[in-house]
Structures are given as C-alpha cells and as structure tokens.
Amino acid sequence: MAQKLWEKSVEVNKDIERFTVGKDREMDLYLAKHDVLGSMAHITMLESIGLLTKDELAVLLEELKNIYATAERGEFVIEDGVEDVHSQVELMLTRKLGDVGKKIHSGRSRNDQVLLDLKLFTRTQIKEIAEAVEQLFDVLIRQSERYKEVLMPGYTHLQIAMPSSFGLWFGAYAESLVDDMLFLQAAFKMCNRNPLGSAAGYGSSFPLNRTMTTRLLGFDSLNYNVVYAQMGRGKMERNVAFALASIAGTLSKLAYDACLFNSQNFGFVKLPDECTTGSSIMPHKKNPDVFELTRAKCNKIQSLPQQIMMIANNLPSGYFRDLQIIKEVFLPAFQELKDCLQMTTYIMNEIKVNEHILEDDKYLYIFSVEEVNRLAREGMPFRDAYKKVGLDIEAGRFTHSKEVHHTHEGSIGNLCNERIEALMKEVVDGFCFENMEAAEKALLGR
C-alpha cells in the first residue's frame, strides 16, 4: 500500500482515514489533467533555479506527458491506498523513473498544488460555459429576428398587460445572457491568477521564480501575496459560483416561460415532440420534462454560492480541511450547467411559435394603452384619455386595431439586436482565452 505524502512512522486509523478522505479521491479525478500540467510548469521552473538537472527535467516532462494523455483518455485512476491525485502522479513517476520522481514536490505544498489545480480546471470550464452560452445567445438572436413581427401578450401579475412580441421575448433572454457573461468574465479574471509558489500559504525558502510559472501556464498575473493566495481558496469558487448562478437564473426563468407558454391554456409555443414525455394513463399528455428538469437543476445551481459560503465564511486566514468539502459541490456544477445550456439551445432552436395568438379577442384589452397614447397624441390630457378608455372598457365599447407601431430603442419595432450582438462580442473578446490555450499547448508540445 502506498504511503501518504505526509505519513511518517505512525499509521493513521482506518476510520479516521475514511472520514477525512471522504470523496476527495473521486473529486480529484476532475483535476488529474490540470495537476499534471501544473507539475510540468513547476518542474520547468525548478530546473531553471538548479533544483533539477536538464536530463532529469527531460525524462520527467516526457513521463508527465504520458500521464496527461492517460487522463485525457479518461483512463487515469487513483489507486486504493493512494490519498489524492497529487500522490498518484508522484507514485506513477517514481515507479517509472525511480527517485527522480520524488523531486517534483520541491518548493510547493499540496495546498498551493490543489489551489493551482482548481484554478486550471475552473478556467477551462469557464471557457466551455462561455462557448455554450454564446451558442444559446446566437439561437435566441436568430429566433428574435425570425419572429420579430409576431405579436404576443405581455404580462404583469400574470394579467394581460400590453403588446409584446416574440422578437422581444427571445431577445430579452439574449440580452440577459450578455450580463451573465460579463459576470462570468469577471469571475474568470479573478480565477486566472497564479497561486503556485505560495506553498502552504507562507512561501518557500527556495528561490522560486513565480513569474516564470505564471508565464508558462498562461495566467494573467500572480496572486502576489502568499497568504492571500491561500485565502483565495473558497473565495474563487464562491465568485465563480455566483457567475454560474447568474446564468442558471436566466435559464430557469426561460424554462418557466416555455413551460407556461407550452400549456394548452396559453398555446403560445409548441416544444419539439422529442423533448416531451407522456403519461402512463393519459394518452394526450406531452409533458415539458426537459425544461422542468432544467428549471430544477438551475435552481439548485443558484444555491451553490450559499453552499460555498456556509462552508468557508467563518474560517480565519490559513488552510483548513473544511475547504475540501467545497470540491464536492463545486466541481460537478459545471457539467450540470453545460447540460442545461445544451438542452435549452436545442429546444430554443426547434421551438414552434403560434403566429395567431392575438386573433382571440380575449387579448383585446392589451391595446388599451395604445388607445390612451393615441388620444394623448391628439391633444387629450393623458389622465383624461386614461379615464375615457377605462370607461369604454367597463361599458364594453372598447375596440382597437391589433397593430402596433413602436419605434424607440428596444421596443417592438426597434429591437436593437445588432447592438446586443455587439455587446456580447465585446464581452466574449474580453476573456482572452487564447493566452491560456497557447500556454497549455506549448507546455504539452502541441
């Protein structure tokens, strides 16, 4: 059985070991590729300051590339008795290369190693989330343009209120995603700073070149203060979780709208048949299960920042084992959100719109404000026009054309979709993902 990195002469109690390790080995599989990448940058720096020879660096890098490829294929395994991903990588190197494999830990602690792994994992996941959001955004903008002439009722208090359009409805969620992406970009920039070299939170007596590892890994900058680097554990996850929750909030609201508008009482949209399920006893049923599950999953993701805060918010500076539990709620959240984005993008692309909603006279009163405004334009004081139209409605005399001619920015007749697209492009370009991608490819020799 492999010895723990920290184990000396006293063997730990097995029940204590089971409790303290928890799900860490399972969670560490998310981090395997990133742990290897961080080690490659670290040992390249160690060679530059004389703690490894050129030959030692060459063989270590070659074997680390092999381990990276194993992780990339999904074949990386943390063996029984091995505590975590860091221990497994070091064990694999030592088996293959002997004592030289034991040298990779010089100048770092598992504390800054897992900090680094989490940041490398998270920034990669943020990139994938951003790409998925952009795909949904493109579909929403396209559908907004396609259906910009199709009117629908707008609601307040779930009462019919004023004319809206499918152009506005699709476009509203597109613009919401722009703000969500701005939040995500801020989280990315806070994440994309290098903690490596902070060791256990107090630096190292080795003359580490932290600027070098920052460049090798394509970080924007350092977490300069080594104490703050360690304090950033939990804070980074919380900040990113808030950004994920913002996206999830948009998806949840969209899912709710779609479920409501798909019901027979509304009949505004029709979801793709392949995205609905049936009933075991009611043959007519086509249930919007995908969007109901999306709503539930996204509501769960919206609780993620609070879960992280409740784990980390009463900890003083320095490392504490409490932080391990954050991985259990944080690491799986990205795939769950990506799944929701993928499902929503597919359905929004295939959704069918009812283009004849307002032919039903039960929606006639949404044009009451149009009539008030018409009278006001003709010179009647607004409050008098409001009263006249109200009395006409009460008396059953109200009629109005079912057309609208709004012209101001962001209204039915002037969606400003091209400006919303420009805002999204500006945010997407601001991530600068290419820097991290180029650095990782260079480390791997690709």
CA pair distance 46, 116, nearest whole angstrom: 16
Kindly give the confidence (pLDDT) of every residue in the chain, 446 residues in length, as a single tens digit, with 9 standing for 90 and above: 445 554 555 566 677 766 766 676 778 899 999 999 999 999 999 999 999 999 999 999 999 999 999 999 999 999 988 888 999 999 999 999 999 999 999 999 999 999 999 999 999 999 999 999 999 999 999 999 999 999 999 999 999 999 999 999 999 999 999 999 999 999 999 999 999 999 999 999 999 999 999 999 999 999 999 999 999 999 999 999 999 999 999 999 999 999 999 999 999 999 888 877 766 677 676 788 899 999 999 999 999 999 999 999 888 998 888 899 999 999 999 999 999 999 999 999 999 999 999 999 999 999 999 999 999 999 999 999 999 999 999 999 999 988 898 999 999 999 999 999 999 999 999 999 999 999 999 999 98
Residue 173 has what pLDDT?
A: 98
CB-count burial class (<10 Å; 0-12, 13-18, 19+) for 361: exposed
Residue 6 has what pLDDT?
A: 44
CA pair distance 119, 115, nearest whole angstrom: 6
- Domains of the chain listed by start with CATH number: 14-106 (1.10.275.10), 111-147+165-355+423-430 (1.20.200.10), 361-395 (no CATH)
Q: Are 46 and 106 in contact (CB under 8 A)?
A: yes
Residue 326 has what pLDDT?
A: 93
CA pair distance 36, 71, nearest whole angstrom: 9
3-state helix, strand, coil in the chain (%, to 5): 65, 5, 30
Q: Which two tokens stand for residue 424?
A: 């999204």
Q: Are 261 and 335 in contact (CB under 8 A)?
A: no
Q: Are 262 and 254 in contact (CB under 8 A)?
A: no
The model's pTM is 0.92
Residue 7 has what pLDDT?
A: 53
226 φ, ψ to 5°?
Answer: -65, -30
CA pair distance 61, 444, nearest whole angstrom: 9
Residue 281 has what pLDDT?
A: 75
Q: Are 43 and 104 in contact (CB under 8 A)?
A: yes
Residue 4 has what pLDDT?
A: 52
Residue 1 has what pLDDT?
A: 42
CA pair distance 45, 40, nearest whole angstrom: 9
CA distances from 137 to 166, 244, 376 (A): 15, 16, 38
Nearest CA among 228, 252, 250, 245 for reference residue 329: 245
CA pair distance 298, 182, nearest whole angstrom: 19
